[in-house]
Amino acid sequence: MTMRHHLLELAERHHLNAQHTRQLLQAAGLEDEPAFLGVWLPRGIAILAAALGGLGVVMWIAANWQSMGRMGHFALLQVLVLTTGLGAAFSTQARAPLGLLALLGIGALFAYFGQTYQTGADPWLLFAWWAALALPLCLGARSDVLWTPWAMVAMTTIALWVHTYSGHRFGVEPENLSVHLLAWGATFIVVGTLCSGLQRFTGASTWSFRTAATLAVVAVTLTALGGLFHSHVGAQFSLGLLVLALCVGLLATPRLFDVFALSAVALGLNALLVCALVRWLTQDTWSGDWLGRLMLIGLFAAALLAASVSGILRLSRQMAAREMALGVSV
């Protein structure tokens, strides 16, 4: 229940009239405009407008595919990228939304190029060029408004690269271990680029780091699960467990601690351990009593989740106390 509800109950209990109730809410500061609303609301609207504008241009070109010539489509997209890029360079206040519009325009330009010329290039190459050309834009804007979609583009590039070099399929085969290890290394390079330690160079902040970390955990977890449920358990599973365990150790340090990223890694680790128990209990060596096995799996999952939540909460309190102590000492 919110503070407003508590105060309204209090007013009803003491039979306050409308004027006195309004005065009570004003004294609690609930009738005032929320703090920083005047700053963040225009920014949020501008970012939303940029995202919708970029998608609108893409949809407009798709809807008018036949009515405009090839050069007209290319000219429109190039003008969009050029004007928004120049606007982001010279306008400090509108840099983030204009940069986002330019980033979307770059992606649309490459998508149209690939759709028009059918060069036969692998899709991951177009996404790689998109990420590479948008990187200076992100470094110049120094905002999560650009770094967050850039992280998505970079992670999509890695996923498509794995698909290409795994025989154009997303299945996990033991012989593709080197491909998966290289992909994991690339995902963690992206995560490391967006971590707080490099924020003074990149300008990336919490949202982009958490986005990249979540996508990296999903990639490692799904690959490890593919190795686990192969006819013979692949090395991807044990290495996935090791990688996620190392990530837990790194994120538990004061320098890299992030409760969201740590929770995502812990969830991935729990999923792998629970699925390992499921595979073990469903082997042919076990027979009968399915209900008992299901109960064991449920209890094991609940215990893992409880231990993870308890450990993360305790660690979070320790980090908060440490920051408070450092603040007091300063």
Please indicate, yes or no, whether residues 64 and 185 belong to a single structural domain of this protein.
no
Q: In the listed set 87, 102, 120, which residue is the last one of a domain according to the structure?
A: 120
The Cα–Cα gap between 305 and 163 comes to 32
Which residue's entry shows tokens 């229940």?
1
* pLDDT for 33: 56
Residue 116 one-letter amino acid: T
Q: Which of 152, 161, 153 is nearest to 125 (CA)?
A: 161
Are 235 and 177 in contact by the 8 Å Cβ rule? The answer is: yes
- Taking 50 as the pLDDT cut, the residues of the chain under it are 1, 328-330
Q: What is the pLDDT of residue 300?
A: 94
Looking at 120, 143, 168, the residue that finishes a domain is: 120
Measured CA to CA, the distance from residue 255 to residue 250 in angstroms comes to 9
pLDDT tens track for 201-242? 898 888 899 999 999 999 999 999 999 988 788 889 999 999
How confident is the model at residue 1, as a pLDDT?
Answer: 45
Answer yes or no: is 165 within a domain. yes
User: Can you say how many angstroms the Cα of residue 219 is from the centroid of all Cα atoms in its chain?
Assistant: 12
pLDDT score for 263: 95
**Is 56 a member of any domain?**
yes
Q: Are residues 195 and 59 in the same domain?
A: no
Residues 161, 74 share a domain: no
Residues 6 or more apart in contact with residue 68 via CB below 8 angstroms? 61, 76
| 216, part of any domain | yes
187 and 241 housed in the same domain: yes
Same domain (yes/no): 105, 137: no
Confidence (pLDDT) at 286: 60
> Does 22 fall in a domain?
no
- The token duo for 19 is 């004027």
Number of domains in the chain: 2
Reported as type and span, the H/E element at residue 100 is helix 95-117
Domain range for residue 322? 124-330
- Same domain as 154, residue 297: yes
Residue at 184 is within a domain: yes
Q: How far is CA 288 from CA 140, 278, 293, in A?
A: 63, 15, 9
Tell me the per-residue pLDDT of 159-212, one tens digit each, with 9 for 90 and over: 999 998 887 777 788 888 999 999 999 999 999 999 888 888 898 888 899 999
Residue 107 shares a structural domain with residue 87 = yes
Is there a single domain that holds both residue 259 and residue 326? yes
Residue 301 and residue 190 share a domain: yes
> Among residues 120, 141, 167, which one ends one of the domains?
120
Examine residue 290 and state whether it is found in any structural domain, yes or no: yes
Q: Both tokens of residue 15?
A: 């039979």
pLDDT tens digits for 159-174? 999 998 887 777 788 8
Residue 86 lies in a domain: yes
Q: What share of the chain is helix, strand, coil (3-state, %, to 5)?
A: 80, 0, 20
3-state DSSP assignment of residue 139? helix
Shared domain for 97 and 225, answered yes or no, is no
In a domain, 19, yes or no: no
Are 277 and 245 within 8 A, CB to CB? no
- pLDDT for the residue 4: 60
Same domain? For 208 and 105 the reply is no
Asked whether the CA dihedral 323, 328, 329, 330 is positive or negative, the reply is positive
User: What tokens does 75 get?
Assistant: 């000219």
113 in Cβ contact with 64 (< 8 Å): no
Same domain, 99 and 129: no
